[in-house]
Amino acid sequence: RKEVEQDPGPFNVPEGATVAFNCTYSNSASQSFFWYRQDCRKEPKLLMSVYSSGNEDGRFTAQLNRASQYISLLIRDSKLSDSATYLCVVNLVFTGGFKTIFGAGTRLFVKA
Amino acid sequence: SAVISQKPSRDICQRGTSLTIQCQVDSQVTMMFWYRQQPGQSLTLIATANQGSEATYESGFVIDKFPISRPNLTFSTLTVSNMSPEDSSIYLCSVESRGGYYGYTFGSGTRLTVV
């Protein structure tokens, strides 16, 4: 089982749609969580951190469920510019260090 | 967050040769990270580079193949040695944002094609 798993998609949605991505992680010691966005042929860029209480940034809402070990990203009112790959990222912190694990990403295409 | 300048942005290299990738950060950072992203795949950590000590390599990556330099707190290089077509990939450097709790900032990547 992969340490971080995402539905690879692609998700094809019309403009204005609401789309949700899920990500599961296998290590219960995971401590911090992020969603990154990666445009084609570009580097990943931090979209938002994910907090236990859930957090919202404009049209984007991230949630964490520690009991079920999954995080989600909800995009409301999709724009063409939201088309990208969304990477789920998990930080494991352990004695002596930490480890960052990237999911393989979920591709989103928003169409007019 | 830090700004990273990575170069070259792309290169096409002959097999058997080596390529050195550079990353310059606009602020001092303790750790720099080197990743590889193969087509259609996610990021895989190659090594962590600390200033003043040898880099720490992840399983499957060795110093002879991917030597790393970290001469100061703002600069690092990764060399891909004795390249083969299997090394064709995107190579990215990154640094932590505020101790890692705010994620990472990445360089713009180096797209390497080995022919």
**Could you tell me if A112 and A13 are in contact, meaning their C-beta atoms sit under 8 angstroms apart?**
no
Q: Residue B42: what pLDDT?
A: 86
Q: Residue B100: what pLDDT?
A: 58
Please check whether residue B24 touches A, CB under 8 A. Answer: no
Q: Residue A53: what pLDDT?
A: 85
Residues of B in contact with A98 (CB under 8 A): 100
| Residue B11 to residue B83: CA distance in whole angstroms | 12
Q: Which of residues 71-110 of B touch A (CB under 8 A)?
A: 92, 97, 100-109
**Could you tell me if B79 and B67 are in contact, meaning their C-beta atoms sit under 8 angstroms apart?**
yes
Please give the residue that has the higher pLDDT: either B45 or B101.
B45
Instruction: Work out the mean pLDDT of chain B and round it to a whole number.
Output: 92
The beta-carbon neighbor of B106 closest among A44, A49, A98 is: A44
**Could you tell me if B106 and B43 are in contact, meaning their C-beta atoms sit under 8 angstroms apart?**
no
Output DSSP code: residue B53. S
Q: Residue B102: what pLDDT?
A: 67
| Residue A53 to residue A35: CA distance in whole angstroms | 15
Query: For chain B, first and last CA: distance in Å?
Result: 36
Q: Residue A25: what pLDDT?
A: 94
**Could you tell me if A97 and A1 are in contact, meaning their C-beta atoms sit under 8 angstroms apart?**
no
For B1-52, the pLDDT digits (tens) are 789 999 999 999 999 999 999 999 999 998 899 999 998 888 999 999 988 8
Which residue blocks in B1-115 are alpha helix, DSSP H? none
All residue ranges of chain A with pLDDT < 70 are: none
String of b and e for B1-20 (b: at least 16 CB within 10 Å)? Answer: ebebebeeeeeebeeeeebe
CA distance A44 to chain B (A): 7
